[in-house]
Chains A and B, each alone.
Chain A
Amino acid sequence: QQQVKQSPQSLIVQKGGISIINCAYENTAFDYFPWYQQFPGKGPALLIAIRPDVSEKKEGRFTISFNKSAKQFSLHIMDSQPGDSATYFCAASGDNFNKFYFGSGTKLNVKP
């Protein structure tokens, strides 16, 4: 059973555009929601993370929006660049910190 559902599976964005990736979860015990970026053949690297006590967190060009009542969260990449082309995973964890359940991933392609 997929604990975290992610969409879209792939995304093509023009350079300078906004990339938006969405995730949803069911387990209300989850209380930590990170986003990871993964390049081919490499391990995931943390981009940004949020806890349910805030509705939005921004770090540079990356913003997480969190809707606790809807059990949804999304990643927004502003001014998308070709170097952002990678696979992005949302994840969630609960009382066992750092034991993550990952979404299915979104392959982002930013065209020059």
Chain B
Amino acid sequence: GAVVSQHPSWVICKSGTSVKIECRSLDFQATTMFWYRQFPKQSLMLMATSNEGSKATYEQGVEKDKFLINHASLTLSTLTVTSAHPEDSSFYICSASLGQADTEAFFGQGTRLTVV
């Protein structure tokens, strides 16, 4: 299957700083990527849809000014958590697909963010 890679796998940052997480599709082009957040022992919650060359679409309740998404190329989407606070500590996961019917969505390995 196709490979989606996230970087970094884990990061610790100080409260008030910003953190950037990268999501790359390594062997295919993805016009659409999705960002999810997962709190411990909970489900994945869709945060936003990242569209190449256009603005991201955010789910209800997700602050677009806090979670900045950039999809500058067909193989890279970035999520920047701005002015991070301890409550932003979570597991962030991206997914990408070919965007066609009946095609599998491939998930990255996730990024564990801890804000101290």
Contacts and interface: CB of A to CB of B under 8 A. Distances in A.
Nearest to A90: B43
Interface stretch (A13-21, A37-45, A61-69, A72-80): A37-45
Nearest to B101: A97
Interface residues of A, number: 24
B46 interface: yes
Nearest to B30: A98
B44 A44 contact: yes
| Interface size grouping (class) on chain B | 20 to 34
A25 interface: no
Contact of B108 (A43, A89, A96, A105): A43
Given A46-B104, A97-B103, A100-B105, A41 B42 contact: no
A89 B44 contact: yes
Interface of A: 6, 32, 34, 36, 41-46, 49, 51, 89, 96-105, 107
